[in-house]
Structure 1
């Protein structure tokens, strides 16, 4: 994507009416081909604001007639912090008119070193001029020009609940697993991190910085537009993203199906050990899971292998114990899963953290970090609560509960996203079986 300047657009309002009936369509439009079966294109043009304030979380935009008698409602689902803003929902005059091209800016285009930011968009397919959900049988989404500023900034994109993705054989994109709660369901996804290299313009032949996602029988999905800086600042943190709902030709395409649907992955601290448990909802040609461990969160090494069921449409439970832990020392341990299929292709889970403390005991106390925090807040619970049902709340100074969530089998350390909270002082409260612990935090 390219650095952009804000662009003003005329916007319109119309009434959003809730409906509960579902219909199903198969889109018929032109298609592109990336060595795969031809799939119809969906056209995203002429967006109008349906409800909400321009650029605010929860605001809905309507793209009419993305295919015959089907509209798309695009909702701003969230952002990493208040410094992330939407300049325009669909940039025109550059890129490709048929593509969905949001322009997202961080801190007015100026990012200091080691920053990471994102904005999420939920896309729902509905009847033309209505709100009845529509299931689209099959479609593709291609992220174009996922590159950088030529120096210290790189873009990334994320997609949730796709059936497959295609990359060039010599791609410059790296892939990692992500998970989000979407419409109340824990949903797996893939994040594609671009290089810092800057590719001129938005070029559909620059396949090394492109990826194409395949979806089947979907009425909604989520896409993420993000960026990050390394060891240096960038004044190019206003970026345009181009998501074209069609396939493309790749020189040497490598298609990956998503073999594992990971429902949960938890880590709990015991006496000189860490118990790791995970559940899968579906497996396709999975060989095994490698458990990886790190002491710095950057360099991981394999500490064990757990063989998978391989092919399953049922919920499967797995467990592994790391006995090489000194729980009486201070420090942090990081764990992740690498699922490996029969073709030796692999995918990574999200990282779980275990906080070690020689002062740990039976006292009911929470450890929160970083503090102050701007987006992700890590909360370490008392040891005796691990693996049990724990409720988490973030409370304002006047006692109002602003965030409420729970985990039926809590890990030792959980993440809370506080990016939407205004700057100020808050308290984090956790409860388990009638016991409660609380810690003050600062949101910056």
Structure 2
């Protein structure tokens, strides 16, 4: 509890005027002001200040109403060094935070802060659609969406692998007009993704396939950017049937920018739109379940330049006194606590609790021992939350504590029934006369929620509304605003007349207020954090009575309900009867009760459909039946018909009061309550590892009567309603055993050994022990299924030797590998209709030819180690060897969850006729002015002959020789042919292999350059020294000397300057081979004589 609130709860009654008072002025709330003109004497204000602290269409620029003439852009801070400080300066992350920046941003002095991330909450199997358009900065921006593998909380903090997992990565080009991931204009961003809305823009998207509800966040590969038109939309369902899920995008530290103001107190074309603001869910930490009070803060019409918006429990600071923490401060603050949403947070994720309830009864009586007779009062207070209760007795009716007023305060740390006594005197000690009108105004005011804003230059007024929970049939409530700007200079700064509101406001005003002006980058908010706060919840109930302690009556009320155990949605009827019971002491002098009212605050567990009364009138705004006078023995009736809601509370209390003294309070109150059956919701745990035990909590999403989540001890679970008694286990033959743990509320399914597939869903009965009422729900568990790879049989045209055939299904090529997976859908290559596979493994190499992946040979080791090939479209087969008419290999898909097809598929290519010839080599060399062409084959099938073809440009070819083939052979065959009249310069040669059926195939081309090797080798014969002329020494890469046995007896990497010494070589025939650096060759025969 904050110190200020603690000081306001120190005593049950204020001291007399000579003692210091706690406050000089205490304002009554709006309901009190409405009745001030009726007050003639005393007004009493009952304030219940509950002590609990609650913590914590397209969804983007369109929610704020951004258009071409109304701006509020997202601003991604800069990471550049300024004044030797990384991320320094006015636009750097030191001041502006880390929204959308990469996790590796930051420095030792200002480390990266994950709390500044822009998050989106995505339930399992939902899809996120997104698009961003910059108004300045990079021509393309890379967007990386991550999740934290170790956290399913609202604010995951992982900054690196393995916990930070990349879910999606896209680079969005920027520029005018629309493109994928880039809205073309404001209307496109407002309409949202056309995949969901059938209008707007084409979005990028990704799906939550993790099996858990979780937060994702975005990091971009750029900085110092503004996004003017943008959208992040979550949708459930599938393509063609998406349903938008609003209230999922949030950030604790919003960084925005628009242009500076140009005119004092006036919006311009670049001011923020009227709808610019944020929703803030405030967690109720005093309840075990997550439940939230939701606020909406509006800053429409503001101009900021660069600004930061956030919200918290304390104010700009958190380490000072309560009063100092909440003051506006010089400089920036990063005290972000609550998330800020663009839309009302999704109530299925951020639900709200029932409204707190407080009831007040006043009993007046004669003060014992008083003479002359004087009165006193006992106030009975019932609260369902810890509270501070203030009773203001306003004697002059001005709405403030002053003069002879009395204020009584008490603090209660727990729910319960309490009594506060007043002695009937004003603060001078004088008795308050009988017959004085008394008004009660009860106010429920929770502790403050702060909205600091850093560096927003001009405010035309801030408004804050309480959005939920609300009483049935009511609209969001305008909250009072509070501020303390006493630490900020308030002169007429640079002629801006800034600010416009009072320096300190701790009594509260309704918005729009807290205004300050500027006409540029100036004003008292320049580089300062200005704070505004409000109460987390405020409600008012007005009661009017006369302080009458001289007459006695006995008023009584009874209340009944038509159905004690209705189902949710059923309509019930409450009957309330009020009467004036005669007192013995009034015999012969019957007293008519006056000012009789019955308060009947219908709780949120019902939706009222109709109220009818036999006398008086019903005031729905104050939940009061105004009866007026009630004679002795007169009975009046009110009936209320209401529909039972899904969540409580359901206790409905009627209280009767009048102006006269009523000592018997036992019959002034009566209750009626319905008990609804518990609600059992269906449970599921999907995509589990095959063969594993699966445990899930089946009661965490169920509701007891009244809407609360049951503790395990509050319910019984029967796993087999068909059997008598409560069954905590259930055996399903052929599938496995289901077991319920009463201590934890968890069910475990243990599959039988060898069981595959998914178990049959079972129905269980949930019984609430306190009411013995029940409901049923279904438990569904599924296991991940292994993928199924499809066999491929692809007839093709007969290939030629060394032909490479892509297996990509394009341009007439054989089809892609394909398959199916129950979770991922149908596979084509590396894509799946619901989720993409991880890839394929090769389980056997081709029976003929070679398999390549992305140009690299697939090896046996890659088969043995089960290498994962991520893109099957990159496979190809190279046809090597001859004599076969088909080839096949085996492959298996690996699905998105990492499971491998245990029964690989066969990919087979077939054609008619076998490949005729296996060509081992084909070479051309210059020999004695001629070109010697030689080739070898290792296998020939049905071969006819070989044609040698020549070309000067490798395009136009002429046949120059024909050589008969061996025909059918599996031996190594060597062939030669001479070009006796070669062409000067560079020539190309190739070999055409012709089959007996006239089909043919070409070899690779080889080249000879006669102009490059005009070489002279002398003498020939030679005995001692051999000389080589006609070549530059640096033009030669190798010279070799080979004997007739094929043995190279000498090699040189250049031409020896003094010739080749032959003395160490025996006489005989030798070949001199000269290889030039351009690849050309010369071979000459020489004879060595001895």
State the TM-score bracket (shorter-chain normalisation). Answer: 0.3 to 0.5
Q: TM-score, normalised by structure 1?
A: 0.35
Q: TM-score, normalised by structure 2?
A: 0.16
> Which fold has the larger relative contact order, with Cα–Cα distance below 8 Å and residues 6 or more apart in sequence?
1
